Amino acid sequence: MSDNKTEYSYYIKVKNESARKRLGFP
């Protein structure tokens, strides 16, 4: 279960980063 949660957190982190880059944030 913890492994799946870590994978999900990483997915959210990557998604947020790509969204920030698309918006022009550093």
Cα 26 → chain centroid: 15
Q: What is the pLDDT of residue 19?
A: 87
The dihedral over CA atoms of 15, 20, 22, 26, expressed in degrees to the nearest 10, equals -130
Q: What is the pLDDT of residue 1?
A: 55
Following DSSP, what letter does each residue of 3-18 receive, concatenated? HHHHHHHHHHHHHHHH
Cα radius of gyration (the chain): 11
Domain boundaries along the sequence of the chain: 1-25
Q: What are phi and psi of 20, to 5 degrees?
A: -65, -40
**Coil, strand, or helix at residue 24?**
coil
Taking only the tens place, the pLDDT of each residue in 1-26 is 567 888 899 989 999 888 888 888 66
